[in-house]
Amino acid sequence: MTAEQSQPIVVIGAGIVGMSTAIWLQRAGREVIVIDRGEPGHDKGTSYGNGGIIVPSGVAPVTGPGMLWKSPKMLLDPNFPLFLRWAYLPRLLPWLLKYMSNANEADTRRIARGLSVIVGDAVEQHKALAKGTSAEGWITDSDYCFAYADRAAFKADSFVFDLRREAGQVPELIEGGAVRDYEPGMGASVNLLAVMKDHAYVRAPGRYVAALAKVFLEGGGDIRQGEVRDVELSDGRISAVVTDQGPIACACAVLATGVWSKPLARKLGVNVPLESERGYHIMFRDPSLKLRATFMMTGGKFVVTPMEDGIRCAGIVEFGGLDAPASSAPFRLLRKQVAAYFPTLEYSGTEEWMGHRPATSDSLPVIGEVNGTGVFAGFGHHHIGLTGGAKTGRLIADLITRQGTNIDLAAFDPQRFN
């Protein structure tokens, strides 16, 4: 064992990326310490509140051709799921200009090719991560259905389906009355389903991450609760992670704290254009409907997932930073849309949640070593955090242990923004 291998690796962040990284490093024989402000899978984290769907077809970014000209109308439409806290606009603007510069066909295709690397085998990656463990039972195979009003609405999305086809994801179409045969609870406004096979979902994302943490602990891992404040460098390489409990000596570290990764990355010389894209979900408890699949309601831009505690409807895009409380308008709109799409749905109660998707300005995650410091980034996954988290962790573990990969990771290089 080399001197470097005798030192532990510190993983900062106990979400899906952090726990995946920790487990794959542990399986490679390395000593790993995970540190997070909260417990793994806690209800304030994005790994808890996401839509729960593992989406190999999730290659289309939010930015797309024509979005620059459509966005003002979207923002002014109270029935469109895009919100902005206007007081936050001056702080958002520098990031927003970079973000919107990718709203063209060439950049959208480039981003889709990059995302396909991370999400294309996502179901297999999650199953490999959880195989033979208590976490395995949380993963459920499922169709993933894009719901449309009619064939014309589906054809209007032909560009994004071209991107999916190029990534090897081809839908099967269900139309007319056959939609209700497939899903009896679906409202009459949906008359076409574009069904993607071989997808999956997690029945309780927070509990899934907590189960992975238990697997890690049972393997001899160390999880600590605390706040990371800085890193110590020696000759340009990390020697310790500085926490509110004191320094932790380490051989290298992994930065996997989502949108909260930006300050520490900046201290290491990388200024990632990263913003919170605030997402909302409502859990409908004890639902009267037993859904057979997961759905993307394309008219409302939200996903519908049958989970352990009910039906979770998750979506909405809101820009308003990390500090402002949840807004009421997104919840009102989401409830209105759910009632329109599933008019017979009854339930005993609801749970509302708001969290922070880490959105880079080019919609691609940050994966790789930061400026040769021995700190490895794994954040910025935007809408594919759960989907891509298992593979991202495995890639980072391979980079650290020098097992190598034949995957070109240049699109995710932390230095690409410098």
> Which residues in 204-286 belong to E strands, given as ranges?
222-225, 228-234, 237-243, 246-249, 252-255, 274-285
**Residue 85: closest CA among 368, 318, 401:** 318
pLDDT at 102 (0 to 100): 96
From residue 59, how far is each of 56, 161, 164, 292 by CA, in Å?
A: 8, 10, 7, 24
Looking at the chain, which residues constitute the CATH 3.30.9.10 domain(s)? 57-118+137-200+274-360
As a whole number of angstroms, the distance between CA 52 and CA 209 comes to 11
Three-state SS for 285-339 is ECCCCCCCCEEEECCCCEEEEEECCEEEEEEEEEECCCCCCCCHHHHHHHHHHHH
Helix, strand, coil content of the chain in percent (nearest 5): 40, 30, 35
pLDDT at 75 (0 to 100): 87
- Which residue reads 């994966």 in tokens? 367
pLDDT at 1 (0 to 100): 46
Q: Are 330 and 316 in contact (CB under 8 A)?
A: yes
338-397 pLDDT, tens digit per residue, is 999 999 999 999 999 999 999 999 999 999 999 999 999 999 999 999 999 999 999 999
104-139 pLDDT, tens digit per residue, is 999 999 999 999 999 999 999 999 999 999 999 999
CATH number of the structural domain 3-47+207-273+363-417? 3.50.50.60
As a whole number of angstroms, the distance between CA 22 and CA 184 comes to 42
pLDDT digit string (tens) for the chain, length 418 residues: 455 567 999 999 999 999 999 999 999 999 999 999 999 998 888 999 999 999 999 999 999 998 888 888 888 888 899 999 999 999 999 999 999 999 999 999 999 999 999 999 999 999 999 999 999 999 999 999 999 999 999 999 999 999 999 999 999 999 999 999 999 999 999 999 999 999 999 999 999 999 999 999 999 999 999 999 999 999 999 999 999 999 999 999 999 999 999 999 999 999 999 999 999 999 999 999 999 999 999 999 999 999 999 999 999 999 999 999 999 999 999 999 999 999 999 999 999 999 999 999 999 999 999 999 999 999 999 999 999 999 999 999 999 998 767 889 999 999 999 8
- Alpha-carbon dihedral 146, 148, 150, 152, rounded to 10 degrees: -80
Looking at the chain, which residues constitute the CATH 3.50.50.60 domain(s)? 3-47+207-273+363-417
Buried b (16+ CB within 10 A) or exposed e, 270-301: bebbbbbbbbbbbbbeebebebebbbbbbbbb
| Residue 375: other Cβ atoms inside 10 A | 26
As a whole number of angstroms, the distance between CA 199 and CA 53 comes to 8
- Look at domain 57-118+137-200+274-360 and name its CATH class: alpha beta
DSSP 116-137: HHHHTTHHHHHHHHHTTSTTGG
Cα–chain-centroid distance for residue 60?
13
Q: For CA atoms 295, 297, 302, 304, give the dihedral sign.
A: negative
Partnered with residue 355 across adjacent β-strands are: 279
pLDDT at 2 (0 to 100): 56
As a whole number of angstroms, the distance between CA 154 and CA 157 comes to 5
